[in-house]
Amino acid sequence: MNEIFTASVFASAIRLATPYIFAGLGETFSQRSGVLNLGVDGIMLMGAFTGFYAVYITENLLIGVLVAMLTGLVMGLAVAFISVTLKAEQGISGIGVYLFGLGLSELLFQKLIGTPKSVDGFTAIYIPGLSDIQFLGIGEIFFKHNLLVYVAFALVPVSAYVLNRTPLGLMIRAVGQNPQAADAMGINVARVRYFTVTLGGVMSGLAGASLSIALLKVFQQNLTSGMGFIAVALVYFGGWRPFGILAGAMLFSFVNALQLQISGIGVDIPAEFAVMAPYVITIITLIFASKRTEKPTALTKPFERGE
C-alpha cells in the first residue's frame, strides 16, 4: 500500500486539479447567473493552443497566459451572445462551441506547429521554509508547485467571497434564481450574464493554458480529452459552491493520480478499468449530488421580460 499512497501521488493530484478548478470556478459564475456553458472544453482547447503557441513563439510565459485568457474572453463573449442575446438552446449551442474549439485548435496546430513539441513552461516554485517540511511529506505535497497551481487554489476562497459577500455576487445569484425579480429591481439581467459567461470563458482559457504550458508543457490534438465536460459536471457535484468544486476537483484528480500510479507500478488491474474509474465515480457521485438548494432555478432559461 505504501507504494501506492505516496506523497508524489498526493502532489500530482493537486497539480492535476488545477485545470478543473479554473474551469469549474468560471463555470460556477456562469451557472449561478443562469447560463449553462457546455462549450468549456472547446474554450479550454483554444486557450491551451493559443497559450502554448504564444510561449512557443515568444518564450514569455506571461504573454502565454494573457493570450490564453484573451482567447477565452473572445469565446466567452461569443457564448454570451449566443445564449443571452440570441437566446439559443444552451445545451446544443454549447456542444457546437465545443466542436468548434476542438476543430479549430487542431487545425491551427496542424498549420502552425505540425508535430507535437514541448515548451519549457512554468517550473515549480518552492515556498521557502514550508517546502522543507518532511512530516507526512507536507512540503512535497503542498509547497512545490508551479505558480498557476497556487493561483487556482487561491481563487477558491476569492470566488466564494465574491459570490456570497459582495453586491456583485448578490446580483449574480438573484439573476440565476429569479431574473424577473432582479429585472424589477433595476438590475440589467443581460449585462450580468454577459459578465459571468465572459468571466467563465477567461477562466476556461486559463484552465487550458494551465494544462499546455504548466502541467504537461505540450500541445497535441484534443489535449483536454473531455476535461471541460468533467469541469461542468464538477459544478453540479460541488453544488454550485466554490469549495464544493474544490472538493470535487480534488476527489477526481486524486482518483486520476492514483490510476496513473497503479498502472505505473504494474498492479494487475486491466488498464481500461483504471482509466474508466474516475468517470464512473463522477457519474455515481453526480446521481447523489443532483438536487441542491443552491441550484439556480433559472439555469438554461433565457430571460424574457413580461409574462
Closest distance of CB 79 from other proteins, Å: 25
Is residue 85 close enough to count as binding other proteins by CB under 8 A?
Answer: no
Give the distance between the most distant pair of CA atoms in the chain: 63
Give the whole-angstrom CA distance, residue 235 versus residue 116.
32
How buried is 127 (Cβ within 10 angstroms: 0-12 exposed, 13-18 middle, 19+ buried)?
middle
- Window of 106-114, 183-191, 242-250, 265-273 that interacts with other proteins by CB under 8 A: 183-191
Closest distance of CB 130 from other proteins, Å: 30
- Options 113, 127, 133, 168; binder of other proteins; rule CB under 8 A: 168
Which of residues 188 and 222 has its CB atom nearest to other proteins in the complex? 188
Is residue 97 close enough to count as binding other proteins by CB under 8 A?
Answer: no
Q: Are 201 and 72 in contact (CB under 8 A)?
A: yes
Is residue 190 close enough to count as binding other proteins by CB under 8 A?
Answer: no
Closest distance of CB 25 from other proteins, Å: 19
Question: How many residues bind other proteins, per CB under 8 A?
Answer: 25
Closest distance of CB 33 from other proteins, Å: 13
Give the whole-angstrom CA distance, residue 173 versus residue 179.
9
DSSP letters spanning 232-273:
HHHHHHTTT-HHHHHHHHHHHHHHHHHHHHHHHHT-SS-HHH
Task: Write b or e for each residue in 148-164: b if 16 or more Cβ atoms lie within 10 A of its Cβ, otherwise e.
Answer: bbebbbebbeebbeebe
Which of residues 185 and 276 has its CB atom nearest to other proteins in the complex? 185
- Window of 23-31, 39-47, 55-63, 169-177 that interacts with other proteins by CB under 8 A: 169-177
Is residue 185 close enough to count as binding other proteins by CB under 8 A?
Answer: yes
- Options 74, 104, 133, 187; binder of other proteins; rule CB under 8 A: 187
- List binders of other proteins among 282-301 (CB under 8 A): 293-294
Give the whole-angstrom CA distance, residue 297 versus residue 172.
13
Is residue 183 close enough to count as binding other proteins by CB under 8 A?
Answer: yes
Give the whole-angstrom CA distance, residue 192 versus residue 163.
13
Closest distance of CB 111 from other proteins, Å: 44
* Cell numbers describing residue 70: 484573451
Which of residues 76 and 176 has its CB atom nearest to other proteins in the complex? 176
Compute the chain's Rg from CA coordinates. 19
Q: Which residue has the cell 454550485?
A: 240
Residues binding other proteins (CB under 8 A): 165-171, 173-174, 177-178, 180-188, 293-294, 305-307
